[in-house]
Amino acid sequence: MAVSVACCGVSFVNAPAKLLQSSSALCFRASSSCKLNPEKKKYTLRVRDEHSSNDGPQPMAFKSSPFGSSQQKKDKKESQPTDLRTDPAKIHDASFLDAVVKVYCTHTAPDYSLPWQKQRQFTSTGSAFMIGDGKLLTNAHCVEHDTQVYFPLLFYFPLFFFFFLTFFLDQVKVKRRGDDRKYVAKVLVRGVDCDIALLSVESEDFWKGAEPLRFGHLPRLQDSVTVVGYPLGGDTISVTKGVVSRIEVTSYAHGSSDLLGIQIDAAINPGNSGGPAFNDQGECIGVAFQVYRSEETENIGYVIPTTVVSHFLTDYERNAKYTGYPCLGVLLQKLENPALRECLKVPTNEGVLVRRVEPTSDASKVLKEGDVIVSFDDLRVGCEGTVPFRSSERIAFRYLISQKFAGDIVELGIIRAGEPKKVQVVLRPRVHLVPYHIDGGQPSYIIIAGLVFTPLSEPLIEEECEDSIGLKLLTKARYSVARFRGEQIVILSQVLANEVNIGYEDMNNQQVLKFNGTHIRNIHHLAHLIDMCNDKYLVFEFEDNYVAVLEREASNSASLCILKDYGIPSERSADLREPYVDPVHDNEALDQGFGDSPVSNLEIGFDGLVWA
């Protein structure tokens, strides 16, 4: 068995029992966005590739101001990069090591089985590094589900007690090399799919004498790489050295996404996550974030390249939040078979076949099943689903899509029934029927007379274990696509025992399809239908013709007692108290069944199918 895991050191003193089963590494999941302060300096990242040529797509480059505050520019002259090739001993005194800090985080994850509460908190350590302007860069999984302390506490507690709470409950703290003080850090934004987070530290003492790191070009194979961080096994900074083994589109364990990654053979251990990887010139060429563990492999670590970092920062600067990576929204098949190309009237040895188009994507307006995509913004797509990359390399077609931003328009060259055409498609982030992460961090729920309804999500599946979810529901989670934006699979997650719902205890983890004859679109739609119901009975229809019927007035009375008996603060989550907005603009979408084509997180699968 092989698995890619994010490397964040975890303390299990306060960890749930299930975390003890895999103490070597964890993959935390979260999502967040934060508005950009207009008074702060804008910053972007310049990425250069000294080895690139005009034969293929180049790593992104943006106009940028150098990282670091204006005061730092005045006080310090620009230093020359440390050349570790000529003097490897310089690593001990290299100033860029001082830019690497240790991250301490207290996590309180939601309890998806009991969605009205949270799990027991636990702590972890990771790494981060300075990029200037009071900002630090780290991995998203290092600061996922960080415990929050809100300033309104000041109105309810004496000032001394508030600072007491802040001291012990501040969610994220950082410590510099050679310093015994920890400083409070604020999470500005998380990019879950690219596993990057941006932190800010307001303390001026923290930044005294600090020099932001310089970012380098995308490395070549066999280039030396030095990974710096604070892994488990000690408290001081750690340095490991290796070479670049591979550069290709890689599966990101935390974000369940496929982006450009750098594979290295330098040791990456729990706690290294968020730490920088340097080339021989002392330039940062990426961020350590995960390892590949298997009985048949060893020394396979992964680094997020600076091209992905630049995309994250530029997205945040453009939109004052992180919008995520877009997708084309089509299921593709390779065209390596000459007979298949001849049947589709493709004259050259190129192109990929469109097997299915996601209904929620903009591509559904211009692409059809049976189309062959032969070019992307005038760059030819090979029959094996790859495009030119740098001087003598090829890379997966989805790499081109990952270089775009949400809302960008691309031109596709297609062959339809033997006729070449040009079409334009707007790229949008993928809509997942079963999400991998919960926006806001807390799942939605509604409780009716002890029946607990919640949307199906990957965190819930992991928490409940696949056996208890059921094969039919797992099949929908793995192989179905959303018919419209906002669609969810709503399930009866559990039944809280009481005298009203006797006989329904064996219906746990069943999907609810209808309420009083109306198809359920999402959890908010179900809550809306219940609120608007004036019938005598509440009729819930499930898969396999299961039916649950409750008397409405008796259910309302029973709900109050159940909430009190189980210590539940509210019969529904806060988001379900907002006015309901119907997500369906085209009623034809409701007539379509759930997607019947395989869906894979990998755009290029072993069976030749690709998602783009």
Q: Which residues are catalytically annotated?
A: 141, 195, 273
CB 219 within 8 A of CB 244: yes
Cα–Cα distance measured from residue 114 to residue 388, given in angstroms and rounded to the nearest whole number: 49
Residues with Cβ < 8 Å from 508, sequence gap 6 or more?
468, 492, 493, 494, 495
> Locate tokens 């968020």: which residue?
274
First to last CA, the chain: 27
Question: Could you tell me the two tokens for 323?
Answer: 């919008």
What DSSP string runs through 458-526?
A: HHHHHHH-HHHH-HHHHHHHHH---SSTT---EEEEEE---SSSTT-GGGTTEEEEEETTEEP-SHHHH
**245: burial class by Cβ within 10 Å (0-12, 13-18, 19+)?**
middle
Tell whether the torsion through CA atoms of 345, 351, 355 and 357 is positive or negative.
Answer: negative
Cα–Cα distance measured from residue 326 to residue 300, given in angstroms and rounded to the nearest whole number: 28
Residue 140: how many other CB atoms lie within 10 Å: 32
Tell whether the torsion through CA atoms of 291, 295, 297 and 299 is positive or negative.
Answer: positive
Question: Could you tell me the two tokens for 200?
Answer: 């800010």
CB 590 within 8 A of CB 522: no
> Locate tokens 């000690």: which residue?
234
The phi, psi pair for 21, rounded to 5°, reads -75, -20
- Looking at the chain, how many residues does it have? 612
Amino acid at 357: V
**294: burial class by Cβ within 10 Å (0-12, 13-18, 19+)?**
exposed
CA 358, 408, 355 angle in degrees (round to 5)?
25
Cα–Cα distance measured from residue 474 to residue 458, given in angstroms and rounded to the nearest whole number: 10
CB 230 within 8 A of CB 125: yes
CB 172 within 8 A of CB 221: no
Cα–Cα distance measured from residue 364 to residue 356, given in angstroms and rounded to the nearest whole number: 9
What is each CA distance from 380 to 24, 232, 501, in whole angstroms?
43, 46, 61
CB 517 within 8 A of CB 433: no
The phi, psi pair for 499, rounded to 5°, reads -70, -15
